[in-house]
């Protein structure tokens, strides 16, 4: 593992160039280019205001509901864009894999990092909109790199695993289309985790959904951390944050092991 990491570090410039390439391709033939990273939050905010405020669908018990929603939607888009964009990254770059040697993991990692850049670029617009609508920004926002790092670690693990599956089973991305939508709804984004009941009985088993949604869904924990920092202006408990980070690290290690286990067959399969 240490040898693999050293080799990956030696190819860090390739990762940088691939991230730059992904960003250029994203805005290729676009008149506004990177400005869309700022316009998208503005357009989403306009839609939320029309739908939730004008039509009376806003949650009355949550102040600035559209800010609450946006504070979760932006990191979710970062995650879903990384996953769905990273799944075909090995197959779509098969011509490179067959021609030249480089650590194959730079491909999925570059996809995650390019989506992270888009997320970070959009954050200043979120802060501006939050201030306009009277949402307070606290000094805890300086700790925002912590959940971003945890999310990058978790997303890299997921993408390394799924991109490997896609090489051998090309319907992986088709299966993930409905699964990523289902994942969206079981993650507290359009609702607060406090809206869940305290007790549910299923198959004669009684459990607390508010607790288990965080234990079984790491993205629920990550999204809640963003909302704590960006919307509530407070810091998630350190024990909660450390457990989430540990889970993300386990997912990364497993995804990386799985990727390296089968990466030697990529050239003959893609």
**Residue 109 has what pLDDT?**
94
The CA distance from 108 to 19, in Å, is 10
Tell me the whole-structure pTM to 2 decimals: 0.88
Bridge partners for 202 per DSSP: 205
Report whether 64 contacts 45 (CB < 8 A).
no
Which residues of the chain have a pLDDT value below 50?
none
SS (H, E, C) 41-54: HHHHHHHHHHHHHH
The CA distance from 144 to 115, in Å, is 16
**Residue 94 has what pLDDT?**
84
The CA distance from 56 to 113, in Å, is 38
Bridge partners for 33 per DSSP: none
Tell me the pLDDT tens digit for each residue of 100-130.
888 889 999 999 999 999 899 888 888 888 8
**Residue 258 has what pLDDT?**
95
Beta strands 205-207; 200-202: pairing state: antiparallel
Q: Tokens 């779509």, residue?
A: 92
At 15, list the tokens.
């990762």
Distance, first Cα to last Cα, the chain: 25
**Residue 86 has what pLDDT?**
92
At 193, list the tokens.
């985790």
Bridge partners for 75 per DSSP: none
């Amino acid at each position: 593992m240490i040898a693999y990491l050293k080799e990956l570090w030696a190819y860090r410039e390739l990762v940088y160039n691939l991230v730059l390439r992904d960003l250029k391709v994203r805005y290729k033939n676009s008149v506004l280019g990177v400005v869309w990273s700022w316009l998208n939050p503005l357009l989403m905010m306009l839609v939320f205001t029309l739908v939730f405020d004008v039509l009376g669908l806003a949650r009355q018990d949550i102040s600035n509901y559209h800010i609450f929603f946006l504070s979760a939607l932006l990191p979710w888009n970062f995650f879903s864009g990384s996953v769905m964009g990273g799944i075909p990254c090995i197959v779509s770059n098969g011509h490179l894999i067959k021609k030249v040697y480089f650590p194959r993991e730079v491909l999925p990692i570059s996809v995650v990092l390019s989506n992270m850049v888009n997320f970070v670029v959009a954050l200043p617009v979120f802060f501006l909109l939050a201030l306009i609508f009277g949402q307070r920004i606290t000094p805890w926002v300086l700790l925002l790199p912590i959940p971003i790092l945890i999310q990058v670690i978790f997303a890299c693990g997921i993408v390394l695993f799924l991109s490997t599956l896609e090489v051998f089973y090309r319907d992986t991305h088709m299966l993930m289309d409905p699964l990523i939508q289902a994942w969206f709804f079981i993650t507290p984004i359009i609702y607060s985790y406090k809206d869940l009941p305290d007790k549910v009985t299923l198959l004669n088993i009684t459990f607390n959904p508010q607790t288990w949604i965080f234990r079984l869904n790491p993205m629920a924990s990550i999204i809640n951390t963003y909302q704590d920092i960006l919307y509530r202006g407070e810091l998630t408990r350190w024990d909660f944050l450390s457990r989430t980070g540990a889970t993300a690290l386990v997912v990364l290690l497993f995804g990386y092991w799985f990727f390296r286990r089968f990466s030697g067959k990529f050239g003959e399969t893609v």
